[in-house]
Chain A
C-alpha cells in the first residue's frame, strides 16, 4: 500500500499541497481528480522522490521514501512504474531500446530482456514497433510505449500522469482498457487526471484534490452522488460563473 501522510509542498511563494493525506490500497486503481495546477503530478513525483516534500511523508509498503538511501530508492523505483504525461520516451532510442533500458539496469540477461520487451509490447498491442523511433509514433502509441516501459519491470505499482490527455476518444478508451488490464494483472494503479470519463471508467476509488488537500474519497458511484458543491462542480464540468460585460458601443464621429 502507498500512504501519503500530510504532505505539503511549495514552489517559491506558491503553496501547492497543504496537508494531502491519502491511502492507495493494493490491487485497485485509485484516481486523483482535480483541476490543472492543483498538484496532481507533484503528488506522483513525491511518491518516487523525484521531488521531496516540505513536510509530511510518503510510505510505500511501510517504508518511508524520504528515509531511503540511494540503493533503497533504486529498488523502490523498480517496484513503482511511472507513465509520464507526454510519455517521456528517449527520443534517440527505438521503442525496444526505451523498454530495455530499465531491464538492463536491473541486470537481466539478453534473452530475458528480449522476452520482457516482447511481452510488454504485446500487452499494449504494439508488437512490430520495436525498431521505430518515438518521432515515428502517434501520441497514443507513445503513451502505450510508456506503459510498456513501466510494466516491463513487472512493478507492483504504476503511477499514471494524465494518461488520456491530448488523445482522441477512441485512443483514450484504449488507454483506459490498458490501465484496467494492468490492474487485472495485479498491478496497483494510481492515476491522476482531469478527464472525468476516464476517471469513472478506470477508477475503483476516486479522490478529489482541491486547494492542496483531498476533499473527498469514494467509489465512482459515491462521487457521482456527492452533495459537495466543489466535487459536483468539477465532475459536472461546470465553470465558475463568468459575468461578461456587454461591449461598449462607440458613437460614430
Chain B
C-alpha cells in the first residue's frame, strides 16, 4: 500500500502554504454541492439520530446526580429551590453539551475514523477518485456538516432529558415541589444559556467529525493502522472539545 497524493505534504511546502492549499481543497469540496447533498441526510441519521439513545442515557444520570449533589451542597445554607437553578444552568451550559460531546466523540469520531480508515487501506478511497469523485466532497463534507448540524439537536434532547430527570429526582427524593424547582429554574434563566450550549455543541460536532475524517483518511497499513487512527480520532476529538469549551467560555461569557 502506498501513501496517496492527497495525504502527502509536498516536500518544502511551508505550514501557511499547506493550510492555504487545504483551505482551497475544502472550499472546492464545499462548492461540489451535487456530490454531498444526497449523502447529507444519510449522515445526519447515522451520526445524529442514531446517537440519541446514548445521549439520553447520559443525560438521565447527569440530571439525577446534579439534583442530589446540589441538594447536598445547599442544605442549611441556600434555599432548596436553587436546586432548579443549578440543574438548569449546569445542564444547559456545560454538562449537556460537554458530556454529550464526549460521548459522541467516542461514538461518532471512532465510527468515522474506522470507516474511512478501512476504506483507505482497502483502496476504496482511491477507487472513488478513479470514478471521478472528490474524496473530500464525497466523504468529508457530508460527515462534517451532518455532525455540525446534528450535535446541537442531540444536545438539545440531552438538555431536556437532563433537566427533566433532575426535576423528577428533586420532587421524589428531595421533598421539593415542582413549583419550587421551576422557580429556581426560571430565576436565573437567560436565553443565552440555551444558545451558548447549542453553539458550543455545533463546534464540538465540527471538530469531532473533522478529526475522525482527518485521521481516517491518513490511515496507513492494515488493521493496526485503522485501530491507531480510531484511537487517535477519539483522543483528538475529546481534546478538541475541552479546548473549544474553554474558548467559548472566554469568548462568550
Contacts and interface: CB of A to CB of B under 8 A. Distances in A.
Contacts of B50: none
A108 B8 CA distance: 33
Contacts of A75: 132
A215 B5 CA distance: 27
A88 B132 contact: no
B3 interface: yes
A42 B130 contact: no
Interface string B1-14: 01111001000000
Q: Among B2, B119, B134, which residue has the most Cβ atoms of chain A within 10 A?
A: B2
Interface residues of A, number: 30
A179 B130 CA distance: 19
Nearest to B11: A54
Given A77-B132, A85-B123, A42 B5 contact: no
A176 interface: no
A181 to B, nearest CB: 21
B1 to A, nearest CB: 9
B5 A88 contact: no
Interface string A55-91: 0000000000000001000110110111011101111
B13 to A, nearest CB: 13
Nearest to B125: A88
Interface in B112-140: 119, 122-124, 126-134
Interface stretch (A45-53, A184-192, A226-234, A244-252): A45-53
Interface stretch (A21-29, A99-107, A196-204, A235-243): A99-107
Contacts of B131: 77, 101-102, 105, 149, 153
Say whether chain B's binding surface is mostly helix, strand, loop, or mixed.
loop
Q: How large is the interface on B (under 10, 10 to 19, 20 to 34, 35 or more residues)?
A: 10 to 19
Contacts of A50: 4-5, 126, 129-130
A166 to B, nearest CB: 14
Contacts of B122: 86, 88, 91
Interface string A101-130: 110011000000000000000000000000
B19 to A, nearest CB: 20
A102 B123 contact: no
Given A70-B28, A88-B122, A77 B130 contact: yes
A90 B2 CA distance: 19
A102 B132 contact: yes
B126 A88 contact: yes
Contacts of A45: 2, 126
B28 A84 contact: no
Contact of B132 (A86, A91, A105): A105
Contacts of A149: 131
Given A41-B2, A42-B2, A51-B2, A84 B126 contact: yes
Given A86-B123, A88-B122, A77 B129 contact: yes
Contacts of B123: 84-86, 88
A51 B6 CA distance: 8
A91 B119 CA distance: 9
A143 B3 CA distance: 23
A82 B4 contact: no
A180 to B, nearest CB: 22
A15 to B, nearest CB: 13
A106 B133 CA distance: 10
28 contacts: A11-B2, A11-B3, A42-B2, A45-B2, A48-B130, A50-B4, A50-B5, A50-B126, A50-B129, A51-B3, A70-B28, A74-B132, A78-B132, A82-B126, A82-B127, A82-B130, A85-B123, A88-B126, A88-B127, A89-B124, A90-B124, A90-B127, A91-B122, A91-B124, A101-B131, A102-B132, A105-B131, A105-B133
Interface of A: 11, 41-42, 45, 48-52, 70, 74-75, 77-78, 80-82, 84-86, 88-91, 101-102, 105-106, 149, 153
Interface of B: 2-5, 8, 28, 119, 122-124, 126-134
What 6 pairs between A and B have smallest CB-CB spacing? A102-B131, A88-B127, A88-B123, A74-B132, A82-B130, A77-B132
Given A50-B4, A77-B129, 10 more contacts: A45-B126, A48-B130, A50-B130, A77-B131, A85-B123, A88-B124, A90-B124, A101-B131, A101-B133, A102-B132
